[in-house]
């Protein structure tokens, strides 16, 4: 029976994962509803709790902080931004820049003496002083008064304020300090769940350090089991690759580690709870938790538990599953901690729907429905984590005389809500207590503040004096019922993300294990054997396209655009076969193959919409009696020459842009990837492109040369090396009798990422690994040169080396593969020879499989930025340092290389972003994110200088380059003048 229930619960999770929000909420609304009589009692109790909370405002530093510095104010945002970065900045110069950046524009004087808290007021005066030093003019009186103290004084003051904020949210820097602090009077009656601030391991060393921290915490808490404290464990802190694609590796390893911790906790007689993770990890987490829960060695220990996030659509069946494990499970119900990142990931990956609710009130409904299930669960020992007075009052109403549950709150927040319940009424409340050094906790701190201080959250509403009690305690069931459970109107489904312009392409949810397994099977299916390449008849191909130009160019723009949209639909319908070709012919990993099919479809739909909007005749102004019109027409035959690294997306992107503007096309793919080009052209013909309007020619450089030398070719779109682009340019002007024709060239670059000491190292390393080594470094946009501020370089490089150790090299059809082989023997030999020449400058590399063209990810140390003078098209990353205060000079040194494709910046200083944006001579600048994966219509892609001619692919100016602009001016006076003038009632005959 228990096994059947568990199986049914897992099936329900799969069904609900990305189900439509109204469908998910309908049963939840029924479950969360209360009778009018209960509602009246709940409101009375909630009103009392609200009064307790407001009375505690004078005691709660954080409550007063939120009241004085609301998070939708410039001061609140500035203070949080400063807290997030300041303590990790080691050098005074950057620290001063950060202070100036965050404090300089805010009006701190307006807050002086306003708070009931002396601590808040003291902090405010410190901010006023800082503002005076960094923001006032030279003649400012306060600046003159304290100028002798200078910038070190401000740094010390800000540092003290930041550490003070840390004290509020962190129970202790060590577990021993935290357990001592729990004995203080303000915590009387409360127990703690200690979290060792293991956010997510980037390296195996991180994971081992976090594991030892948990071991030490369990030992420390276990010295006094009667105190009732517990330990919370985060699985992603225990493995650097806690990912669905690596589940065969990480699930057994994490199960073994969690078992060791659970046995240790059971031996001490204390509780252990597994924290919640992002939605894509849920199924793996349940596998791990279920395996440990079923261990015979833990029979009789009833202190094992897990957290469940109510904002997830699967929360109810997760609790049902926990109740079916055949043992008592502690279940901590939380609202959720990854809302914004979950929304963005779903949109970026083009998935069917969100795994969580898009309205705050919907999460509240889910919380109540799940809470009722937990109270009824025979094997569930509930813990309700909430700072919401209405939620707490509702649970108390439903629980009645039952006291076999506990409440939980975050350390530093919710003062006043539970004190009376705990100390006077005997309820149990546990404090979720972060433990760790202040430098390590700040990303956590900011996330928690934003999570609990968002405009729609109860904590923020409580701090808003403009809201009435009725508004704060409004029934979420009624709110959601009023909108029919619909999605938030500002959060479109991923498919509608770019509406009204174009439909977003659909992705594949690789976090769903059955979907991942099916996809892996599909892409590894044997391809049809190639019949072999014929010698291309280039002249004949151009003749066919030349003859077809008249008929194709005269078709209406609407008709050509509709054909592109049909092609996009066919690409998505045939996605499995196209992905298989990409994986097997172009050595694309499964995520890269998905991305390429999506990008090709996006190009088709985007250019279709652009053509409709931009290629219609435009009426221009002029004198009366004259009609002026601008037409955008096709030029003739275009040659499109595509690369092997994006053999579908770029091949089709260039080609459909030429087609939709009225040109005919002779398309040449790279010699390494003809099969995917044939498949794409066949689909284009099925979509309605005439066979002679799009002609495929295959072969090597001699075919490309013959194509570009043909004087009937009226334009060339090329993506590839700079050297080849220059040869094409010379060819196009070599014949004096040939018309001057356009060349659109996108080439490579020495792409740099600049990292200053305010950047979060974990984020930097994740983005560097993605930018440098994904696709085996074979992207035009890939990171080639990492420039780290010298004060933090050693730490960043050490973490980067550790992250590189987690990369898996292997066949690209394996979902676990991170880095596949390079494209061919020539590329392999060139890259391997360079690695050998680098010698002692290679500071990190990996082992490669014995068979296959695998170039190991490699890190090369440079003495100077100038030491890298060419692009190495593979998984080779160069690293150098730069000095604080030399950002402009560093940018100039990168610009001096002459390339201008992509650049990255990691910094928390807005002024650094402004400087880089103004001075970087690149086509695409990426700030605090990876440098690859430009999205059609959102991040138009293309470079300048040695990196290309422009216009940018996937951008609003691209189609114009394929067109001939023709202005027509007609004198209408000879045909009777301007008839509209006859209708004017001004004078007349």
Contact (Cβ atoms closer than 8 angstroms) between residue 96 and residue 102:
no
- Report how far apart, in Å, the C-alpha atoms of 281 and of each of 209, 293, 295, 628 are: 22, 18, 22, 61
Helix and strand numbers (H, E) in the chain are 36, 25
Contact (Cβ atoms closer than 8 angstroms) between residue 885 and residue 877:
no
* DSSP 3-state of 833: helix
Contact (Cβ atoms closer than 8 angstroms) between residue 307 and residue 274:
yes
Whose structure tokens read 């003051």? 157
- Closest by Cα among 938, 939, 911 to 925: 939
Say which residues have a Cβ less than 8 Å from residue 48's Cβ, sequence separation at least 6.
none
Give the Cα separation of 709 and 719 in Å (integer).
17
Give the Cα separation of 958 and 943 in Å (integer).
13
Say which residues have a Cβ less than 8 Å from residue 920's Cβ, sequence separation at least 6.
891, 894, 895, 903
Helix ranges restricted to H, 415-553: 419-423, 438-453, 458-462, 469-472, 476-482, 513-523, 538-553
- Report how far apart, in Å, the C-alpha atoms of 529 and of each of 147, 532, 822, 824 are: 78, 9, 22, 19
**C-alpha 726: how far from chain center:** 37
Say which residues have a Cβ less than 8 Å from residue 596's Cβ, sequence separation at least 6.
582, 588, 646, 648, 649
- Report how far apart, in Å, the C-alpha atoms of 638 and of each of 376, 798, 832, 905, 940 are: 70, 49, 37, 37, 22
Contact (Cβ atoms closer than 8 angstroms) between residue 207 and residue 238:
yes
Cβ burial, residue 769 (10 Å; 0-12/13-18/19+): buried
Cβ burial, residue 91 (10 Å; 0-12/13-18/19+): middle
Give the Cα separation of 261 and 212 in Å (integer).
10
CA pseudo-torsion sign 483, 485, 491, 497? negative
β-bridge mates for residue 841, sequence order? none
Strand ranges, E, within 295-405: 304-309, 329-334, 380-385
Neighbours of 269 (CB within 10 A): 11
Q: What is the DSSP letter of 327?
A: S
Phi, psi values for residue 859, rounded to 5°: -115, 125
Catalytically annotated residues: 746, 780
């Amino acid at each position: 029976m228990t096994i059947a229930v568990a199986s049914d619960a897992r099936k329900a999770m799969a069904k609900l994962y990305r189900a439509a929000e109204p469908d998910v909420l309908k049963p939840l609304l029924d479950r969360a509803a209360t009778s009018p009589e209960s509602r009246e009692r709940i409101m009375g109790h909630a009103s009392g709790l609200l009064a307790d909370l407001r009375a505690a405002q004078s005691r709660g530093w954080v409550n007063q902080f939120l009241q004085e510095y609301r998070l939708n104010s410039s001061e609140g945002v500035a203070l949080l931004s400063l807290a997030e970065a300041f303590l990790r900045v080691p050098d005074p110069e950057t620290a001063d820049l950060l202070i100036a950046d965050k404090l300089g524009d805010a009006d701190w004087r307006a807050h002086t003496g306003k708070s009931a808290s002396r601590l808040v007021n003291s902090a405010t005066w410190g901010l006023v002083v800082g503002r005076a030093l960094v923001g006032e003019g030279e003649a400012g009186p306060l600046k003159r008064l304290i100028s002798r103290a200078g910038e070190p004084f401000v740094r010390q003051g800000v540092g003290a304020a930041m550490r003070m904020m840390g004290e509020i949210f962190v129970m202790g820097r060590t577990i021993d300090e935290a357990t001592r602090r729990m004995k203080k009077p303000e915590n009387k009656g409360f127990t703690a769940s200690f979290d060792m601030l293991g956010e997510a391991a980037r390296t195996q060393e991180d994971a081992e350090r976090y594991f030892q921290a948990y071991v030490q915490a369990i030992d420390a808490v276990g010295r006094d089991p009667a105190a009732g404290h517990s330990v919370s464990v985060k699985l992603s802190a225990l493995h650097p690759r806690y990912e669905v694609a690596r589940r065969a590796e990480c699930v057994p390893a994490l199960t073994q580690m969690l078992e060791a911790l659970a046995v240790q906790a059971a031996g001490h007689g204390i509780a252990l709870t597994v924290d919640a993770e992002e939605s894509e990890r849920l199924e793996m987490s349940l596998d791990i938790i279920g395996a440990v829960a079923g261990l015979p060695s833990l029979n009789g220990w009833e202190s094992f538990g897990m957290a469940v996030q109510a904002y997830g659509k699967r929360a109810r069946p997760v609790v049902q599953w926990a109740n079916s494990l055949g043992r008592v499970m502690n279940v901590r119900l939380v609202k959720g901690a990854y809302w914004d990142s979950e929304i963005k990931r779903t949109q970026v990956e083009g998935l069917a729907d969100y795994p969580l609710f898009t309205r705050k009130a919907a999460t509240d409904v889910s919380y109540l429905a799940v809470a009722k299930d937990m109270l009824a669960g025979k094997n569930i020992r509930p813990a309700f984590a909430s700072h919401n007075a209405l939620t707490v009052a509702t649970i108390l109403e439903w629980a009645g005389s039952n006291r076999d549950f506990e409440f939980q709150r975050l350390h530093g927040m919710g003062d006043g809500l539970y004190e009376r319940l705990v100390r006077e009424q005997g309820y149990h409340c546990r404090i979720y207590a972060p433990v760790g050094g202040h430098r390590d906790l700040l990303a956590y701190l900011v996330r928690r503040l934003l999570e609990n201080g968002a405009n729609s959250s109860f904590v923020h509403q409580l701090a808003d004096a403009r809201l009435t009690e009725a508004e704060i305690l409004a029934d979420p069931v009624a709110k959601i019922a009023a909108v029919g459970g619909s999605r938030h109107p500002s959060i479109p489904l991923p498919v509608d993300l770019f509406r009204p312009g174009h439909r977003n392409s659909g992705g594949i949810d690789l976090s769903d294990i059955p979907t991942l397994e099916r996809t892996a099977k599909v892409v590894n299916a044997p391809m049809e054997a190639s019949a072999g390449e014929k010698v291309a008849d280039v002249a004949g191909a151009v003749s066919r396209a030349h003859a077809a130009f008249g008929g194709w160019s005269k078709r209406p723009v609407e008709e050509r655009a509709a054909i592109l949209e049909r092609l996009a639909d066919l690409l998505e319908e045939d996605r499995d076969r196209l992905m298989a070709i990409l994986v097997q012919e172009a050595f694309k990993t499964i995520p890269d193959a998905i991305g390429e099919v999506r990008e090709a479809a996006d190009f088709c739909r985007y250019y279709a919409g652009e053509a409709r909007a931009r290629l219609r005749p435009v009426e221009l102004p002029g004198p009366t009696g004259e009609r002026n019109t601008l037409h955008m027409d096709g030029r003739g035959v275009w040659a499109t020459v595509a690369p092997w690294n994006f053999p579908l997306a770029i091949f089709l992107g260039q080609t459909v842009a030429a087609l939709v503007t009225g040109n005919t096309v002779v398309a040449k793919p790279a010699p390494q990837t003809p099969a995917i080009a044939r498949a794409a052209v066949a689909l284009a013909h099925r979509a309605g492109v005439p066979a002679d309007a799009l002609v495929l020619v295959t072969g090597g450089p001699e075919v490309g040369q013959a194509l570009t030398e043909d004087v009937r070719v009226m334009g060339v779109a090329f993506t590839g090396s700079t050297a080849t682009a220059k040869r094409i340019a010379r060819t196009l002007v070599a014949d004096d009798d040939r018309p001057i024709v356009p060349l659109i060239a996108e080439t490579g670059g020495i792409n740099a990422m600049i990292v200053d000491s305010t950047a979060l190292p974990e984020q930097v390393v994740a983005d560097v690994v993605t930018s440098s080594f994904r696709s085996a470094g074979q992207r035009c946009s890939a990171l080639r040169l990492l420039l780290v501020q010298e004060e933090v370089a050693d730490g960043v490089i050490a973490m980067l080396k550790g992250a590189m150790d987690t990369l898996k090299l292997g066949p690209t059809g394996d979902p676990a593969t991170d880095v596949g082989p390079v494209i061919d023997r020539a590329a392999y030999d060139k890259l391997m020879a360079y690695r050998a020449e680098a010698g002692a400058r290679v500071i990190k590399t990996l082992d490669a499989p014995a068979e296959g063209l695998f170039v190991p990810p490699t890190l090369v140390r440079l003495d100077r930025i100038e030491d890298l003078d060419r692009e190495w098209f593979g998984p080779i990353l160069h690293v150098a340092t730069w000095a604080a205060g030399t950002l402009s000079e560093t940018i100039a040194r990168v610009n001096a290389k002459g390339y201008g494709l992509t650049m990255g910046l990691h910094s928390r200083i807005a002024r650094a972003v402004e400087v880089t944006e103004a001075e970087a001579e690149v086509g695409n600048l990426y700030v605090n994110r990876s440098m690859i994966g430009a999205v059609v219509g959102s991040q138009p892609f293309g470079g300048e200088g040695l990196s290309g001619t422009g216009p940018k692919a996937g951008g609003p100016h691209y189609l114009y380059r394929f067109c001939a602009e023709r202005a027509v001016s007609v004198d209408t006076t000879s045909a009777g003048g301007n008839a509209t003038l006859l209708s004017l009632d001004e004078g007349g005959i």
